[in-house]
Amino acid sequence: MSDTPPKPPSSQPGGPSSNPEPSGARRRRRRRRRRGPTQKPAPAVDASGSAAPASDAKAPARRKRRRRKKKAVASAGNVAVSKPAATPPAPRRRRLRVVAAVITRGDEILVSLRHPKRSRPSQWEFPGGKLEKGESERQALVREIREELGVRCEVRALVSRVVYPYPDTDVEIAFYDTKIVEGTPQPLVMAELRWVRRSELEQLDFLEADRDFVAQLARGRK
């Protein structure tokens, strides 16, 4: 027997004492050899021809997503909301100022019948008419009595003031105690003149604006 000690097992890779390579690793290495070398994707190139960073290559997609989001928000904000229809303002009503004469003779009062071809035809009223521009109520009444009855009158105290809302006009009537100082009244522009007892006034068809005042005269309250 030799005295030479036995050689230790070889530690060279691939030697008989090396750890065998797992079979899975060998299969993967063989597949890579068959496919050839792995190719990396070509880097993005900017307008100057140089390679752009990987983050810049994804920028267009991000910008598109941001634009789509902005459009969605804008369209949501522009949703039409129906508002209740505004109520149109009421038309301004016309107001007509009129003066009327309360002419008495004892217990009788002088009234006139409107012409059948005038507005509100064939109704009874008190002599008088509309104010003209720049006139006072007393001046207008003196003029109207002269034009309608052909007499000169004296306008005394205000007896009553009435505002009546006709469908198309608000009529304000000022009734004045009036005395004829010259002439005899004639129906110059009306259909008829008549002296009527106070107690009989309500038997006549007066204008709507005069009726409350007529009722007060008939009862002796004016």
Q: What is the mean pLDDT of the chain?
A: 82
Per the structure, the count of domains in the chain is 1
14 within a domain of the structure (yes/no): no
pLDDT above 70 for 43: no
108 within a domain of the structure (yes/no): yes
pLDDT above 90 for 73: no
pTM over 0.75: no
pLDDT digit string, tens, across residues 158-176: 999 999 999 989 999 999 9
Average pLDDT on 85-107 reads: 87
197 within a domain of the structure (yes/no): yes
pLDDT at 86: 73
214 within a domain of the structure (yes/no): yes
Average pLDDT on 106-132 reads: 94
pLDDT above 70 for 149: yes
Percent of the chain's residues with pLDDT above 90? 53
pLDDT digit string, tens, across residues 134-148: 999 999 999 999 999
21 within a domain of the structure (yes/no): no
83 within a domain of the structure (yes/no): no
CATH classification of the domain holding 214: 3.90.79.10
Show the domain range for 166. Answer: 94-218
pLDDT at 119: 84
101 within a domain of the structure (yes/no): yes
Residues with Cβ within 8 Å of 178's Cβ and at least 6 positions away in sequence, in order, are 101, 102, 103, 141, 145, 153, 154, 155, 156
Q: For residues 138 and 48, which has the higher predicted lDDT (pLDDT)?
A: 138
82 within a domain of the structure (yes/no): no
